[in-house]
Amino acid sequence: MTHRGEGVVRVTESMENDHPKLDGPVELEAGTCYLVKGKQTETSYRLFQDFVERGTPGLCITRIYPEKVRSRYSLASVPVWWISHSPGDRHYAPTAVGLLAKVIETFIDDHPNGCVVLLDGVEFIMNSVGFDKNLLFVEHMNEYVMPRRAVVLVTVDPDCFKPSEFARLERFLESIDELELRQVLGNGAPYIR
């Protein structure tokens, strides 16, 4: 059961659903991967930042240089992994999807009471490993998250995919339209799925 107040959704355990909602400006069900579709990744980062500021442990995996992400979204204490060909600590090549999956799995397992993961860079991974391997990676993450109290936000620009590919990607993930989400975050009203 959820209760709305002051533009925020609070969590209480529900008898009909094993997965509670995460506390935040948007009602998101734990155990779910969300496909945030649109051109503005800024909105996904703002949603992620809001959950982290409310105390939800967060992990950010991004194509943006980590220090820019930390300073732009006030995420000093959040682990930020960079999908990049540049060598370095917490840098992963877009072809290393197995290692990236393990990073996400470990973070989720380390936070059994709930966490949020932002994955921004699926298009870059797809360009590096091909659509089918990218889809397997996303589907694996979705299946891994389902029995756990985690939320994964996967930001994508639909225009980077062929329509048939995007339909396959969208098939198993819950979709959130970035424009609608931006409006909700801008006016403080809850976005309820």
Report the C-alpha gap between 104 and 146 in whole angstroms: 13
Instruction: Kindly report, residue by residue over 45-83, the tens digit of the pLDDT.
Output: 999 998 999 899 999 999 999 999 999 998 988 999 999
**Contact criterion met (CB below 8 Å) for 46 and 57:** no
Report the C-alpha gap between 186 and 142 in whole angstroms: 28
Please state the pTM of the whole predicted model. 0.82
Cβ within 8 Å of residue 4, ≥6 positions away: 10, 190
Look up the CATH number of domain 23-181: 3.40.50.300
Instruction: Kindly report, residue by residue over 138-187, the tens digit of the pLDDT.
Output: 999 999 999 999 999 999 999 988 999 999 888 888 888 888 888 777 75
Instruction: Kindly report, residue by residue over 13-54, the tens digit of the pLDDT.
Output: 333 345 455 555 677 899 999 999 888 788 899 999 989 998
- Nearest-CA neighbor of 152 among 34, 55, 57, 27? 34
- Nearest-CA neighbor of 43 among 67, 25, 22? 25
